[in-house]
Amino acid sequence: MIDRVAYLAMHTSPMLQPGSGNAGGMNVYVNELACTMAGRGIEAVVFTRRTDPGQPASIEVRDGYRVVHVDAGPPEPLSTEELIPHVAQFGEGVVAETAGGRFDIVHSHYWLSGWAGVLVKEAHGIPLANSFHTLGRVKDASRRGDDAPSSIARLRAEEGVIARSDCVVASTPYEFDDLIDHYEASPERLCVSEPGIDHSLFNPGRRNEARRKIGIGDEPLILYVGRIAPLKGIDIAIDMLSHIPSTVAAGIGPPVLMIVGGPSGANGGHEVERLRAQAQTNGAVDRVRFVPPQPHDELVHFYRAADVLVMPSRSESFGLVAAEAQASGLPVVASRVGGLPYVISSSVSGLLVGDQDPNSFAASITAILDHSDFRRQLSRGAVEFARRFSWPATADRLTDLYAGIAAR
């Protein structure tokens, strides 16, 4: 019986708004999972790094779910690379916070937390599960030429966490294979547990009403939601615009690309400026709209308002945005990389593109924007396909996993 779980999320708090800095789908994952576990009577305590001196020692999110701020390095936002020297202090802080706490298991998220999780496991003899959410070697295999490769510290830490975890949790069977192919992980110490969707929030709604809420008119709307970083391939989406006809059946006027999100990583600000300059050079500056990151529960209005979601990612372990968009009735056009072929059913809930060519993305987007029956068919298929992802199902799988490794 599992009664109490320690979740580690060193580099980003589940309380942060996804879409900028270090905050993304992992924040949603940890928050929703902790809420679901707490709702089942399993106490969930999330340990994250203090990033502001004014943050309280802990926050009671709901009955049975609490977020604890641990001192590790200066109390300010830091990039992933800047966090490396402070992992040991974070791990020691969690060891102190969990001493005598009778936790049944530690579930760490991302490689930095995994590294700290190993310290907690060894200090208290608590079983360790780790979810990477993204893998350095997989990311490096498809990174843009000007994007810095993963550090040696990260790659070595990933190897160590894989070797010392009682179980590594992959989001999809594709990530399961990546762990074996790129890290020679032992299959018997791997499992697959996909993230879920809050279907009470993400579901179809009235398109016109959603458009009024987000302040757009009748123009065909291509949507991107997420962090702004080279890995996400937004540059491909901007180049794509010039290959899409100026008149399509989906609306009035040339299609518009709306980018909802903020800069991420050490060079995030530079990437935003690069994308703005690219839109200017391509003559698409009036067709590219940058929107700041939105509260998670507001994203459904953007999904309902749009005609298609684009995800030209160079690497993606799962793609929670794609799952939420589909649940809201929005077809997705995405790269055939990482876990996206698991999250999107090609020609059922969207289309998958086998290369990073803007022309290929333009052809797929145009097929949806210019063929109303096809768009409606994909919208219905997206809602149906997305039913397979739910937080109760995710919690079921993880509860069984926790019990299994705790028993061992």
Report, as an integer, the average pLDDT of 66-73.
98
- The answer to whether the CB of 165 falls within 8 A of the CB of 114 is yes
Q: Does 140 have pLDDT greater than 80? A: yes
With cut-offs at 50, 70 and 90, classify the pLDDT of residue 2. very high
Report pLDDT for 17.
Answer: 85
CA dist 135 and 131 (Å) reads 10
Radius of gyration of the chain (CA): 21
> For 11-25, how does the pLDDT look when each residue is reduced to its tens digit (9 = 90+)?
999 999 887 778 889
Q: For residue 229, what pLDDT band results from cuts at 50, 70 and 90?
A: very high
Is the pLDDT reported for residue 341 higher than 80? Answer: yes
Run of H or E including 272: helix 268-281
The tokens for 321 are 């945005």
pLDDT grade for 103, boundaries at 50, 70 and 90 = very high
Q: How far apart are CA 92 and CA 47, in angstroms?
A: 12
Q: Note whether 122 and 114 are within 8 A (CB).
A: no
φ, ψ of residue 221 to 5 degrees: the values are -120, 120
CATH superfamily entry for domain 207-386: Glycogen Phosphorylase B; (3.40.50.2000)
Mean pLDDT, to the nearest integer, of 45-61?
A: 97
Q: Where are the beta strands (DSSP E) in 295-372?
A: 308-311, 332-335, 350-353
Q: Report the pLDDT value the prediction gives residue 369, as an integer from 0 to 100.
A: 98
DSSP string for 216-254: --SS-EEEEES-BSGGG-HHHHHHHHTTS-S--TTSSSS
The stretch 99-113 carries a mean pLDDT of: 95
pLDDT per residue over 279-330, tens digit each?
999 999 999 999 999 999 999 999 999 999 999 999 999 999 999 999 999 9
Higher pLDDT, 267 or 251: 251
Give the integer Cα–Cα distance in Å for 325 and 303.
6
Q: What integer is the mean pLDDT of 253-267?
A: 92
Give residue 151's region: left, alpha or beta (phi > 0; psi -120 to 50): beta
Band of residue 265 on the pLDDT scale cut at 50, 70, 90: confident
pLDDT at residue 222 in the model: 98
| pLDDT above 80 (res 163) | yes
The amino acid at residue 156 is R
Cβ-proximal residues to 370 (8 Å cutoff; 6+ apart), any chain:
245, 248, 249, 250
Instruction: Give the pLDDT of residue 101.
Output: 81
Phi and psi (nearest 5°) for 235? Answer: -60, -35
pLDDT in tens, 349-390: 999 999 999 999 999 999 999 999 999 999 999 999 999 999
The residue-averaged pLDDT of 322-342 equals: 98
Distance CA 133, CA 227 (A): 14
pLDDT value at position 19? 79
pLDDT greater at residue 38 or residue 267: 38
Which pLDDT score, from 0 to 100, does residue 21 have?
Answer: 79
What is the chain's mean pLDDT, rounded? 96
* Amino acid identity at 193: S
Q: What is the fold of 4-196+390-407?
A: Rossmann fold (3.40.50)
Question: In which residue ranges of the chain is CATH 3.40.50.2000 found?
Answer: 4-196+390-407, 207-386
Instruction: Please state the rounded mean pLDDT for residues 126-131.
Output: 97
